[in-house]
Amino acid sequence: MPINLAKNHFLGKEGFERLNCAQSLVYAFKEKFHVDADINLFKQYGGGRAPEGLCGAVYATNYILKKGNMDGKVKDLEKVFLEHASALKCRDIKDAKKLSCLGCVEKCSEFLANTDHVEY
């Protein structure tokens, strides 16, 4: 299941390679959404280093949605994520202390797992 795959890679658990939040999401969901992306390109987006300080998990999820021609789902993701984390930027999420980094990976994974990919 992609949710567990993302979490295991983020934690480096059960023999899985340790990846950052952005890498974990892209790796776990690339097949479901037919995203051909080099996981190493997302190494720079973990730890609050995504553009404009965006959470790396949110950044990767937006990337996956856009590459899957599902741009309309980006606002839905933001709404769901704000309900749980109170922010979209990594620093603000950490300051609010409502969601851990693992929690960000979980929420984004749950969103993607519950999003149907539509072929065009």
How far apart are alpha carbons 47 and 55 in whole angstroms?
Answer: 8
23-56: per-residue pLDDT in tens?
Answer: 999 999 999 999 999 999 999 999 999 999 999 9
Whether the CB-CB separation of 89 and 41 falls below 8 Å is answered with no
Whether the CB-CB separation of 9 and 18 falls below 8 Å is answered with yes
Average pLDDT for residues 51-63, to the nearest whole number?
A: 97
Q: Where are the domains of the chain?
A: 2-113
Helices (H), 1-120: 2-11, 21-29, 56-67, 74-85, 90-96, 101-113
| Residue 14, pLDDT above cutoff 90 | no
